[in-house]
């Protein structure tokens, strides 16, 4: 028989305002096994924990039930408390009377009844608990960073500087990401390439960092400390070891009609190409869809002229299997497709462009060598209208409900850059709100509005139409309460940003959760912002939510710190709540093996005693190091042979009985 202590927490007024905590403590006193019960203002505080420790000693308790917040919040805290008082930490049960009771109910009487029911269910479960001991697993001291933009680069550099090996897997032919496409950065207007390319070089040169560009993660198995990952290195068709990066092949390539991804399709590139001059690695890749040799078999010019004999048409994709202790997702973002925002005529008019396209037009290495021009006639625009929140903070189906966070600032930057280059230009910015909560941000915006004379108009653009070679912009000015019509030469749309489409597949591979917008979810939105709820998986950059470069770099460093903390350990304490097979009941059907997401179940031939009869049988066997205790096998097993330690079938039934009593 257990001797159980029940500790009911007020959580200040969080629980006590809705649940009569004293009534709960009194009611459970009569439950079987309960030797002691009490309530206290904050059980998790030092005072509360002391009450628990003293009660364990004084009443010789064999287990405790804490009626408080979600076990996700403080289960670990109370297990530690129990352990310091000499109890097995798994002899602790949490009754969640906050998130699942006081926070969601208003009627104090009914909520109190529910809290009592939840508490007695926990007592019923604890009566069947037995002490568990966690095993240990070693940690592979190597990290994988997925995505080679500024987020991935910074995370990798920070981990590598702490002395651990890091691999960066980047799906495009070069690292650098979106930041490499930017001309200037806010709020200091320094050149993006000048601050990014040294970091790219550092990452490539770092002895602890290995780059896998033009590569993708294909399969992930294992668990925190011991991931096994298959990486597909796509065939570049160029031998990176031989290539000298001379660029002759790109010059001579006769297929030059492919849209340059780096220049947002505003210029063309050859089929064999290096995305941009500072690309790392500085090794071309053949776009096989565009290559004449691959499409028709006739050409081969690049191979003929390559003096280093680096061009290799036979090169195949290569799958590498590597092991990691930690994985960081840094998959970044893209701008949303504006094809469905027809009111802005983006798909119809060449003079309606996105902000990222504008960025390329401003850039000295861009398609126009830094000249801002109308793409329809190559003239310098005299009137430019910037439209913010295109698809952000939107309630229409093709838009996003969230704020993309970066647009207010980069639009102010664009307006200033334009005024700086062409002071005579008339510049309008249409906004819903101007949001400038970063350091030096509001000063930056005010400079645009006050010193540069950019005309900020609160209101949205309703229609853009091409008329007589110009753009007729219809908009409303909400402060003056009037309709405006502006004859503009160029319209720049601050398109909402969304997670890179590759993130969805990656989330499945990592069993990491996502929100409805496909941003990775963090383990706790405030207290664990760089960790995914999946142990060993960390988040860096926009894949977790919209953010600018300063925020991205901070978060990248934070993710690196978490990874370093993990890799610094030699061993990880495992989870003792693992599945086990009751062999006499197992009929060898394989149902559990099929549902196990961790590949932890195998089958073996065993001699089994069944009702006194010795039999040779095929039975399930659980690898406890791989099992994560998800319980899928226990609910699948048709004969009830699979059981989960700490959550046995008997315990679950006891809880149900206690609730239904």
Partner 1 sequence: MEFSYFPGCTLKTKARDLDETARLAAEALGVTLRELPEWQCCGAVYPMSREEIAVRLSSVRALMAARDEGRPLLTLCSACHHVMKRVNHDMQTDEGLRTKANNYLQPDKPYAGETRVVHYLEMLRDEVGFGEVARKVTSPFKGVKIAAYYGCMLLRPSAVMRFDNPENPSVMEDFISAIGAAPVRFPYRNECCGGYVALDDRGAARKASRRVTRAAAQHGAEALITACPLCLYNLKENGGGEVPVHYFTEFLAAALGLKTLEGGLARAS
Binding of residue 348 to partner 1 (CB under 8 A): yes
Q: Please, which residue, 288 or 340, has the CB nearer to partner 1?
A: 340
User: Within its chain, how far is the Cα of 12 from the centroid?
Assistant: 34
Q: Which is nearer to partner 1, 474 or 621 (CB)?
A: 474
Radius of gyration of the chain (CA): 31
Q: How far is the CB of 345 from partner 1 (least distance, A)?
A: 6
**Strand positions, DSSP E, 10-100:** 34-40, 63-68, 92-96
| Closer CB to partner 1, 396 or 613, in the complex | 396
Pinpoint the alpha helices (H) of 131-290.
150-161, 192-205, 248-252
Q: Is 342 in the site for partner 1 (CB under 8 A)?
A: yes
Whole-number Å distance between alpha carbons of 358 and 413: 11
CB 459 → partner 1: shortest distance, Å? 18
Smallest gap from Cβ 380 to partner 1, in A, equals: 24
Among 207, 467, 525, 614, binds partner 1 (CB under 8 A): 467
For 320, phi and psi rounded to 5 degrees? -115, 140
Shortest CB 461 distance to partner 1, Å: 12
Closest to partner 1 by CB, 12 or 462: 462
- Nearest CB to partner 1, comparing residues 340 and 458: 340
d(CA 546, CA 341): 21
Strands 190-191, 184-185: pairing is: antiparallel
Binding part of the chain for partner 1, among 109-117, 343-351, 531-539, 542-550 by CB under 8 A, reads: 343-351
Least Å from the CB of residue 340 to partner 1: 5
Main-chain phi, psi angles of 238, to 5 degrees: -135, 130
Secondary structure (3-state) at 596: coil
CB-nearer residue toward partner 1: 201 or 347: 347
CB of 628 to partner 1, least distance (A): 44
Task: Tell me the closest approach of the beta carbon of residue 344 to partner 1, in angstroms.
Answer: 9
Rounded to 5, what percent of the chain is helix, strand, coil? 30, 25, 45
Q: Are 126 and 93 in contact (CB under 8 A)?
A: yes
Contact call for residue 466 and partner 1 (CB under 8 A):
yes
Beta bridge partners of 145: 168, 328
388 binds partner 1 (CB under 8 A): no
Least Cβ distance, residue 473 to partner 1 (angstroms): 11
Q: Measured from the CB of residue 343, what is the shortest distance to partner 1 in angstroms?
A: 5
Which residue of 80, 208, 233, 340 would you call a contact of partner 1, by CB under 8 A?
A: 340
Minimum CB separation of residue 304 from partner 1 in Å reads 46
What is the rounded (10 degree) CA torsion for 435, 441, 446, 451? -140
Size of the site for partner 1 (CB under 8 A): 13
Instruction: Return the number of the residue (317 or 342) whose C-beta is nearest partner 1.
Output: 342
Question: Look-up: residue for tokens 């004859």?
Answer: 487
Q: Is 341 in the site for partner 1 (CB under 8 A)?
A: yes
Residue the block writes with tokens 């305002």: 17
Query: What is the four-CA torsion angle of 47, 71, 622, 612, rounded to 10 degrees?
Result: 80
Beta bridge partners of 223: 226
Quick one: which segment of 50-58, 432-440, 464-472, 552-560 binds partner 1 (CB under 8 A)?
464-472
Strands (E), 585-625: 601-610, 613-622
- Does position 450 interact with partner 1 (CB under 8 A)? The reply is no
Element (H, E) at 487: strand 482-488
Cα(39)–Cα(41) distance, rounded to whole angstroms? 7
CA 392/CA 341 separation, integer angstroms? 12
**Phi and psi based region of residue 523 (left: phi greater than 0; alpha: psi -120 to 50; beta: remaining):** alpha
**Closer of 349 and 404 to partner 1 (Cβ):** 349
In angstroms, give the least distance from the CB of 267 to partner 1.
27
* Least Å from the CB of residue 401 to partner 1: 15
Interacting residues with partner 1 between 583 and 602 (CB under 8 A): none
3-state helix/strand/coil string of 329-364: ECCCEEECCCCCCHHHCCCCCCCEEEHHHHHHHHCC
CA of residue 616 relative to chain centroid, distance: 48
Q: Residues 465, 561, 585, 589: which binds partner 1 (CB under 8 A)?
A: 465
Collapsing DSSP states into helix, strand and coil, what is residue 582? coil
Q: Which is nearer to partner 1, 343 or 624 (CB)?
A: 343
* Of residues 310-339, those binding partner 1 (CB under 8 A): 339
d(CA 352, CA 358): 10
Interface residue with partner 1 among 312, 343, 426, 583 (CB under 8 A) is: 343
Residue 484 interacting with partner 1 (CB under 8 A): no
Of the pair 80, 472, the CB lying nearest partner 1 is at 472
Rounded to whole angstroms, the Cα distance separating 651 from 397 reads: 46
| Residue 63 · residue 92 · CB < 8 Å | yes
Residues in the chain: 661
| Among 222-230, 279-287, 460-468, 592-600, the segment contacting partner 1 (CB under 8 A) | 460-468
Piece of 101-109, 279-287, 340-348, 362-370 that binds partner 1 (CB under 8 A): 340-348
Indicate the residue among 40 and 346 with the shorter CB distance to partner 1: 346
- Judged by beta carbon, residue 495 or residue 586, the one nearer partner 1 is 495
CA–centroid distance for 622 within its chain: 31
Minimum CB separation from partner 1 for residue 476, in Å? 15
The CB-of-351 to partner 1 minimum distance in angstroms stands at 13
- Cβ closer to partner 1: 175 or 464? 464
Region class of 618: left (phi > 0), else alpha (psi between -120 and 50), else beta: beta
Q: Which is nearer to partner 1, 268 or 474 (CB)?
A: 474
Shortest distance (Å) from residue 471 CB to partner 1: 10
In the set 60, 463, 482, 524, which binds partner 1 (CB under 8 A)? 463
Q: For residue 139, give the nearest of 570, 650, 585 by alpha carbon.
A: 570
- Choose one: 43-51, 61-69, 228-236, 462-470; the region binding partner 1 (CB under 8 A): 462-470
Residue with Cβ nearer partner 1 (482 or 524): 482
Cβ proximity to partner 1, 464 vs 475, nearer residue: 464
H or E element at residue 54: helix 46-58
Nearest alpha carbon to residue 288 among 252, 246, 255: 255
Cβ proximity to partner 1: between 305 and 465 the closer is: 465
CB of residue 264 vs partner 1: minimum separation in angstroms? 22
Q: Give the tokens for residue 67.
A: 């009626």
Helix or strand run (H / E) with residue 572: strand 571-573
- We find the least distance from the C-beta atom of residue 375 to partner 1, in angstroms, to be 18
**Residue carrying the six token digits 């200037």:** 184
Q: Under the rule (CB under 8 A), what is the footprint of partner 1?
A: 339-343, 345, 348, 396, 463-467
């Amino acid at each position: 028989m257990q001797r159980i202590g029940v500790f009911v927490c007020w959580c200040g007024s969080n629980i006590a305002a809705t649940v009569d905590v004293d009534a709960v403590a009194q009611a459970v006193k009569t439950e079987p096994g309960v030797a002691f019960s009490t309530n206290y203002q904050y059980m998790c505080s030092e005072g509360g924990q002391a009450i628990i420790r003293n009660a364990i000693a004084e009443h010789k308790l064999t287990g405790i039930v804490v009626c408080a917040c979600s076990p996700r919040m403080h289960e670990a805290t109370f297990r530690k408390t129990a352990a310091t008082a000499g109890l097995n930490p798994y002899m602790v049960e949490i009754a969640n009377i906050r998130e699942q009771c006081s926070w969601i109910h208003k009627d104090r009487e009914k909520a109190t009844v529910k809290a009592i029911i939840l508490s007695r269910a926990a007592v019923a479960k604890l009566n069947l608990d037995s002490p568990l001991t966690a095993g240990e697993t070693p940690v592979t001291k190597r990290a994988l960073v997925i995505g080679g933009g500024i987020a991935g680069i910074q995370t990798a550099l920070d981990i590598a500087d702490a002395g651990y090996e890091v691999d960066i897997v980047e799906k495009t032919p070069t690292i650098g990401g979106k930041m490499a496409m930017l001309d200037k950065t806010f709020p200091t207007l320094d050149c993006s390439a000048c601050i990014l390319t040294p970091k790219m070089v550092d990452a490539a040169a770092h002895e602890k960092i290995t780059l896998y560009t033009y590569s993708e993660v294909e399969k992930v198995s294992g668990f925190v400390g011991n991931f096994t990952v298959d990486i597909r290195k796509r065939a570049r068709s160029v031998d990176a070891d031989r290539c000298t990066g001379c660029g002759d092949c790109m010059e001579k390539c006769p297929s030059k009609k492919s849209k340059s991804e780096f220049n947002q399709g505003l210029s063309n590139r050859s089929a064999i190409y290096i995305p941009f001059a500072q690309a790392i690695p500085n090794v071309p890749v053949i776009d096989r869809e565009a290559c004449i040799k691959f499409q028709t078999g006739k050409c081969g010019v690049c191979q003929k002229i390559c003096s280093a004999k680096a061009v290799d048409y036979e090169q195949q994709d290569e799958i590498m299997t590597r092991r990691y202790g930690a994985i960081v997702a840094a998959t970044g973002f893209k701008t949303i497709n504006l094809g469905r925002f027809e009111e802005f005529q983006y798909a119809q008019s060449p003079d309606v462009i996105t902000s990222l396209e504008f960025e390329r037009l401003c850039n000295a290495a861009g398609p126009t060598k830094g000249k801002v021009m109308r793409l329809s006639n190559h003239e310098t625009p005299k009137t430019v209208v910037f439209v913010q929140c295109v698809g952000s903070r939107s309630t229409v189906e093709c838009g996003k409900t969230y704020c993309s966070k970066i647009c207010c600032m980069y639009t102010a930057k664009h307006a200033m850059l334009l005024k700086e280059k062409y002071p005579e230009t008339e510049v309008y910015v249409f906004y819903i709100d101007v949001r400038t909560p970063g350091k030096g941000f509001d000063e930056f915006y005010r400079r645009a509005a006050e010193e540069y004379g950019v005309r900020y108009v609160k209101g949205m653009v309703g229609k853009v139409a091409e008329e007589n070679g110009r753009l007729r912009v219809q908009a409303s000015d909400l402060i003056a309460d009037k309709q405006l019509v502006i004859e503009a030469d160029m319209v720049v749309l601050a398109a909402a940003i969304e997670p890179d489409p590759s993130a969805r597949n990656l989330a499945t591979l990592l069993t990491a959760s996502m929100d409805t917008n496909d941003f990775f979810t963090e383990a706790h939105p405030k207290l664990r912002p760089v960790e995914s709820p999946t142990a060993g998986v960390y988040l860096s950059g926009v894949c977790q939510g919209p953010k600018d470069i300063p925020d991205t770099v901070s978060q990248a460093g934070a993710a690196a710190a978490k990874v370093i903390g993990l890799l610094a350990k030699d061993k990880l304490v495992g989870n003792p709540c693992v599945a086990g097979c009751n062999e006499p009941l197992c009929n060898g059907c394989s149902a559990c093996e099929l549902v196990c997401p961790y590949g932890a179940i195998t089958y073996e031939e065993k001699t089994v005693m069944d009702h006194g009869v010795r039999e040779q049988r095929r039975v399930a066997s659980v690898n406890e190091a791989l099992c994560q205790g998800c319980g899928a096998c226990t609910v699948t097993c048709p004969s009830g042979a699979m059981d989960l330690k700490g959550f046995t079938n008997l315990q679950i039934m006891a809880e149900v009985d206690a609730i239904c009593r």
